[in-house]
Structure 1
Amino acid sequence: MFRRAAFGLPTASLVILGVFAGPALAEPPEPPSTTTARTELAALTVAAPHSMDGYARDKFGIWASQPDGCTTRQDVLARDGHNVQDQANSCQPSGSWYSAYDDKTVTVVADATIDHMVPLAEAWRSGADTWTADQRKAFGNDLNDPQLLIASESSNSSKSDSGPADWKPANHAFWCTYGKDYTHIKAVWKLTTTDDEKTALSSMIDTCTN
């Protein structure tokens, strides 16, 4: 597998909400254990969604340039692909990419979208509206937590800005990981939840076998 050493944003902007985002992993971050996920879910603060006034995707700085000269999107493609090869050092890899949302494999790089596990709009209405520009940029380009993943165009479009109360992966086998990862992102970034979202996350974590 082709690998780059991606190092996220400058250190000064990455000590955020008590989380240090150091060097990105060479493989996608592992989901937390089921026990940890249940503990994190129970600790999430339930609150009414914030207003979407002032929201814009570009306020999250995607896709930021990384120290390796590539963008966050390109580093995720290099990190998460199969049989990935660099194209003449252009940062644009070739290979294949698995979309866990719908259990499909994408072989054309342009069709391999990068999804935010917790959508940017959902982050905005659950607390990111109060963050600094650096905090939002770090969230939008988070290479260290299970926030960025490959998704087919159709599954990404279907999900859009929805959270688990309104959308779930067509691939039921991914529900366990989705529930744990989504919960973990909200916990790490101290984002709020709703009763409906919490119920949906709990039901998906219930599908875990361990």
Structure 2
Amino acid sequence: MRDLSRLAAAACTLVLAVSGATPAQAAGSSRTSPDEQRILDLLGQARIVGDIDYQPGYDRDCDPGGCVFGEPWTDDHDGPKGRNGCTTREDVLLMQMKDIEMRWGSRCRIYEARLRDPYSGERMTWRDDGYFISIDHVYPLARAWHGGAWAWPLRKRIAFANDVRRELLAVSARTNQAKEADGPADWLPPWRRSHCDYVRRYVRVAVAWDLPLTTADADAVRRVAATC
């Protein structure tokens, strides 16, 4: 029995020597980090489907018969910051930009501020880049429509589209356009440092609003989580 124990210990030592890892590192490599565990816990609450079926009727523009998520950036919604006198776009900018200077006499309009695009890492200022700062829906509106929002009452869809706590991020227009209506399986931020935060946000929105993740999206989230 002692001989078997010695052989096992020797084999373990050989593996560690070949890999260059210490016993503590080898033990730690199999552990789940707190960030990974948070993402996996959220994913465990999510509704996962094979695919998201197409549903007719989606229209973000407010043409006659459209505007299925309400007027873009309306202040008339039931969520946080609703009916406070600022548009939702203004609310998000005020919440997420730094070193803000307001326009004289306004409580909503920014004169100057700084932003680091959470998707690309690009540093932006309002004075130089204001026209190139967009507000992204983390869980895309078109995807939400096909994933179940088509059956929601209009006021719920408006509340979702203006969810400043979870769903909306101030980002560069370029990364917002590149993302389009994709989920994590088809698009991740170009800035790798933001991958963990992005998938956590995406799953958090899906859970909060009972929207689905595809199997491919869930697999992508797990892959990212393993690096967190």
Same fold (TM over 0.5): yes
Q: Which one of 122, 129, 133 corresponds to residue 112 of structure 1? A: 133
Task: Provide the secondary structure at the position in 2 that maps to 1:142.
Answer: coil
Match of 1:92 among 109, 117, 121: 109
CA positional deviation for 1:69: 1.0
Name the CA distance, whole Å, in 2 between partners of 1:199 and 1:103.
25
Q: Which residue of 1 aligns with 2:46?
A: 44
Compute the TM-score of the two structures, normalised by the length of structure 2.
0.72
Partner residue of 1:143?
164
Describe how 1:195-210 pairs up with structure 2 within 5 A: 195-208=215-228
- Structure 1 unmatched ranges of 5 or more: 1-31
Q: Which runs of 5+ in 2 are unaligned?
A: 1-33, 61-66, 76-81
In the TM superposition, structure 1's runs of 4+ consecutive aligned residues that sit over 4 Å from their partners are none
Q: C-alpha separation between the residues in 2 aligned to 1:110 and 1:91?
A: 16
The CA RMSD over aligned residues, in Å, is 1.7
1:79-132 deviation per Cα after TM superposition (whole angstroms, max 9, x unaligned): 111111211206221212111101102212222111011110111121111111
Q: How many residue pairs get matched?
A: 176
- Taking the aligned partners of 1:185 and 1:33, their CA distance within structure 2 comes to 17
For each residue in 1:21-74, what CA deviation from the matched residue of structure 2 results, as whole angstroms up to 9, or x when unmatched?
xxxxxxxxxxx9543321221232222313141011232222011422110000
- Quote the sequence identity (%): 31
Counterpart position of 1:59: 68
**CA distance in structure 2 between the partners assigned to 1:156 and 1:136 by the alignment:** 21
Q: Secondary structure at the match of 1:106?
A: strand
- 2:45 and 2:222 mapped to 1: Cα distance? 13
Task: After TM superposition, give the deviation of residue 151 of structure 1 in Å.
Answer: 0.9
Q: Match for residue 95 of structure 2? A: 79
Aligned residue type for 2:47: T
- Could you tell me which amino acid in structure 2 is paired with residue 142 of structure 1? D
Q: Which residue of 2 aligns with 1:24?
A: none
Q: Which letter maps to 2:89?
A: R
- Residue matched to 1:171: 191
CA distance in 2, matches of 1:192, 1:98: 29
Identify which of structures 1 and 2 has the higher relative contact order when contacts are C-alpha pairs closer than 8 Å and 6+ apart. Answer: 1
CA distance in 2 between partners of 1:133 and 1:35 (Å): 35
TM-score w.r.t. length of structure 1: 0.78
Q: What is the distance in 2 between the residues matched to 1:172 and 1:110?
A: 25
Question: Which one has a larger percent helix, Structure 1 or Structure 2?
Answer: 2
Bigger mean CA deviation after superposition, 62-71 or 135-144: 62-71
Secondary structure at the counterpart of residue 118 of structure 1: coil
